[in-house]
Structure formats: C-alpha cells, structure tokens
Amino acid sequence: MGDAQRRRVCVPRFLGQKRIQFSESVAPVPGPGQLLIQVKGNAVCASDLGLFAHGASHTPGHEAAGIVAGVGPDAQIAVGTPGVIYLMDFCGHCRSCRLGYTNQCLAKRADYGFSHDGGYGPYMVVNENVFFAIGPDIDLRDATLLLDVMGTGGHAISHAQRAREDIESVLITGAGPIGLGVAAMTRLILGRDLPVLITDLIPYRLELARKLGCAPIDLREQPVSDALRAHGLDRVDVAIDTSGKALARRQALDVVGKRGALVCVGHGEGLDLSVSGDLIAPERSVLGSEYFRFDELAPNLARLRAHRDYLARIITHRFPVSELRAAFETFIAGNTGKVVVEQ
C-alpha cells in the first residue's frame, strides 16, 4: 500500500462563517478499484463559497490535480501517474454513461468535494474511473484548467453548436473564471477571428477577457445592445450565460438572433420568457449545460498542450494551502481570474 497511507497529515476543516481550521488526521486508504491521490493543486470555484460560509462535514475541493500515491486491489493505474479528477463519479453502465453522457449519469456515486472529501486536503481517495492521466510535461497546477475552465467552457460550446451549426458571433455574460474559460474555448474551437463579446462589472476581469482576445463590455458604461452596435452587430448567433443572473439571461436572450441559442451554464436564478415571441417565432433555443463529459478531457488536453501560454493567462493567483482562507477572500473580492491552491 505504501507509507503515504499511514502517515499523519494536516487537513483543512471548513467550520462555517468563513473559518478554516487545520487539524491532524490519517491519510485515507484506497479500497478495491480506488486510487489514493496526493493532491498538488485545486482551483477555487464559486460553488465552494457556500461551504466556506456555512461549513462542511467533509473536505471541499472539486478541481483537483495530483499524483497517484497508492492503489487499492484491482486498480490498474500505476503509482506515480499524474492526472486530474473528474468531479462526478459516474457508474459507466447506465443509459447516459453508455452514450458518453457521464455528466448525466443516472446512478452517480459521488460528487468529489461535495459528497466526499476533495482536493483542498493533501490526499483524496477516488474511484479509478474518474482519474484522467496526463503526461509529466503539464504542470499539475496548470492541469486544473482541464476541469471547470476548459471542460465546462468547451461543453457549453458543443451544446451551442448542436443548436446552431453556423455560429458567427458569441456573447458571454459574466467574465468570472467560467466566463473566461468559455471565452478562451470559444476562440480555440470556433476560430480566433470570430467576434466574442463578454460582459461584466469588474474592470480587472474585463481586462483579462481583452487579453484573451475578446471584446469586453462594461455594463456600468453601456447596455449590451449599444455595445453590439459599436462592434457592428445587431444580434448574436449564440449567447452563453455564466453569471446565473436572471437579468443577464434576459438581456442575452433579447440580443440572440433568429435560429440562435442561449446556453445557460451558471446556476442560480431563473429566466422569464414568452414561448411564442422568444422561442417559437424566431426558432431560438434555450439550453442548459452542466459540467462536461469525461471523453472531452482528451481533446482538451491536446488543446492545453498546444495553447498552454494562452490558457494559463486565466490563472491569476496561486496560494499555498496554508493560506487557504486568504485564497477564498481574494477570490471573493473579485479582482482575479482563476485562483489555484497549491500543496
């Protein structure tokens, strides 16, 4: 099994009211078909903020990358293999999984970081099927980009392409880490010359979007419709909402053209619409996009290798795990892209 599984480790406990306390524990032991992962990096996500505020009975963190430090019986992946952890422990046998829709598994066994211990701790145990191996050429902290940033972003675009095959313009609402990921993946998948506009209220994030090659729209200064006209557009083919705000979704749908699509990525509020006027007459689509499929990791790894410097711009802050609370506070303040906690 290895000494790592018997060693005592320091684990962060989320106590609620934005308090984190480190306490000593014993590294877990993998069971049949499981892997012990020594975590090297975990990216902070807005969905972690509720656990930071209200506490958790487990260790959060669902954007983890690390090295296989131990294996349970029947596990096939070798000790020492680097890789990332897919959030959803999919069964692999249900109707959805057989078609590749692992993000819609009908018998999901875990959401690592939410239902089971995740990547803010030094070690985590996962079922082998959710581990995606990468080569030694990718820094494991940068490899976290494969998850919520590239994975979720690319999956939203693939949804949009199913609804509208001739996409020539994209609007993204919200320039947080997911919005920036959608922006970068839009340009990599659909082409660098495609107009990509992105809205936000935070100048820091809008400047990051500009550095990614997008046209930033500061909503404090102009409405979306005026910004589109300033870029020679009356409508967009696709809008992708990452903000989760009802107002942002409504404004986005208002500027989606005929045959266009609104893809909702950000969880949160609702959307008021008229079925006849908003959907039927213009043949628009409104779609939901949840995380991504496990089989999207391989093409995204190739993209990360080919465009590492470009994608790495999205990671703006790195903190040691000993400064985990500061990492959350910095992220909450808003002047960041992706924040990565390093072990």
* Judgement on whether residues 17 and 130 belong to the same structural domain of the protein: yes
> CA-CA distances (angstroms) from residue 73 to 1, 29, 86, 147?
9, 11, 21, 27
Instruction: Give me 63's structure tokens.
Output: 């954007």
Last residue of a domain, one of 288, 305, 326: 288
CATH number at residue 313: 3.90.180.10
Helical axes 203-211 vs 177-190, angle rounded to 10°: 20
* Judgement on whether residues 129 and 254 belong to the same structural domain of the protein: no
Phi and psi at residue 74, to the nearest 5°? 75, 0
Listed residue (224, 276, 222) closest to 245, CA to CA: 224
* Judgement on whether residues 125 and 207 belong to the same structural domain of the protein: no
Please calculate the CA angle 229-216-171 and round it to the nearest 5 degrees.
65
pLDDT of res. 63: 98
Question: What is the C-alpha separation between 232 and 90, in angstroms, rounded?
Answer: 45
* Judgement on whether residues 117 and 160 belong to the same structural domain of the protein: no
* Judgement on whether residues 144 and 7 belong to the same structural domain of the protein: yes
Specify the 3-state DSSP secondary structure of 99: coil
* Judgement on whether residues 190 and 128 belong to the same structural domain of the protein: no
Q: How many domains does the chain have?
A: 2
* Judgement on whether residues 281 and 156 belong to the same structural domain of the protein: yes
Listed residue (206, 189, 164, 166) closest to 337, CA to CA: 206
Phi and psi at residue 207, to the nearest 5°? -70, -35
Phi and psi at residue 208, to the nearest 5°? -60, -45
Question: What is the C-alpha separation between 157 and 173, in angstroms, rounded?
Answer: 14
Strand partners, 132: 84
Listed residue (50, 35, 43, 45) closest to 64, CA to CA: 43
Name the residue range of residue 213's domain. Answer: 152-288
* Judgement on whether residues 268 and 194 belong to the same structural domain of the protein: yes
Question: What is the C-alpha separation between 201 and 255, in angstroms, rounded?
Answer: 19
pLDDT of res. 96: 98
pLDDT of res. 6: 67
The one-letter code for the residue type at 28 is: P
Question: What is the C-alpha separation between 80 and 136, in angstroms, rounded?
Answer: 10
Confirm if 107 and 93 have CB atoms less than 8 A apart: yes
* Judgement on whether residues 157 and 257 belong to the same structural domain of the protein: yes
pLDDT (tens, 9 = 90+) of the chain, 343 residues, equals 445 446 789 999 999 999 999 999 999 999 999 999 999 999 999 999 999 999 999 999 999 999 999 999 999 999 999 999 999 999 999 999 999 999 999 999 999 999 999 999 999 999 999 999 999 999 999 999 999 999 999 999 999 999 999 999 999 999 999 999 999 999 999 998 999 999 999 999 999 999 999 999 999 999 999 999 999 999 999 999 999 999 999 999 999 999 999 999 999 999 999 999 999 999 999 999 999 999 999 999 999 999 999 999 999 999 999 999 999 999 999 999 999 999 9
Listed residue (77, 248, 241) closest to 170, CA to CA: 241
Helical axes 150-163 vs 297-306, angle rounded to 10°: 110
Confirm if 67 and 81 have CB atoms less than 8 A apart: yes
